[in-house]
Amino acid sequence: RALPLAAQRGMCSLFRRSVRGFYMPAHIPRVQAYAGTKGKGSAVMKKSGNDAVWKLCLRGLGIAFGVTLLLMAAASSLVLAGVLKSGGIAAAASVCAAAGAFAGALYTAKRRGTQKLVTGMALCGVFDVLLLFGNLLFVDTPPVGFAEICLPTLGAALIASLLSSRNVRKSAKVRRK
């Protein structure tokens, strides 16, 4: 291709030399340009499966809050129906929050390649802080027994992170394929 003289000498940042020696525009990543190319001596560049950590944590928080809200709706309908007594509301809230934290931490730890325990526990910490802020915003009284919700969520996130980081042995039938 006919390129400007500055680009041919490497002085222009609009073009860069690619892996195979061809000039290509600088705004196109090399991953897109050569994804899936095969052949002897060619560098196969494919995008890795790991997402950005913040996107993964946002999705995990969405799952955690979604599961918590669904279970809270079910628990509130049980309270209104009279199946669950009013003394068990705090325990039901702890169970719902722990189940949501378990689901969110399991999702993020399964999707994360490394540091599964740190990612799951960090997600649970952010989840607990957001629960605290929600309590402060929407309830007039300060949270007296916030440890009743915080400790079960931390335990559930720890269990989910440890479950996702264990090595599951494949059966002989799967290994033969």
Q: What is the pLDDT of residues 47-72, one digit of tens each?
A: 444 557 788 889 999 999 999 999 99
* Closest to 111 (Cα-Cα) out of 62, 159, 52, 155: 52
What pTM was computed for the model? 0.65
Q: Give the pLDDT confidence score for residue 81 in this predicted structure.
A: 92
pLDDT at residue 46 in the model = 41
Which SS3 state, helix, strand or coil, does residue 157 take? Answer: helix
pLDDT value for 64: 95
Tell me what the mean pLDDT of segment 154-164 comes to: 91
In the chain, how long is the greatest CA-to-CA distance? 82
Query: Are 116 and 47 spatial neighbours (Cβ–Cβ below 8 Å)?
Result: no
Two tokens at 129?
Answer: 């802080």
Strand partners, 24: 16
The residue count of the chain comes to 177
CA 27 to chain centre: 28
**Residue 113 confidence class, pLDDT cut points 50, 70, 90:** confident
Within 8 A by CB and 6+ apart from 25, the residues are 14, 15
**C-alpha atoms less than 13 angstroms from C-alpha of 136 in its C-beta half-sphere:** 7
Residue 11, Ramachandran bin (φ over 0: left; ψ between -120 and 50: alpha; else beta): alpha
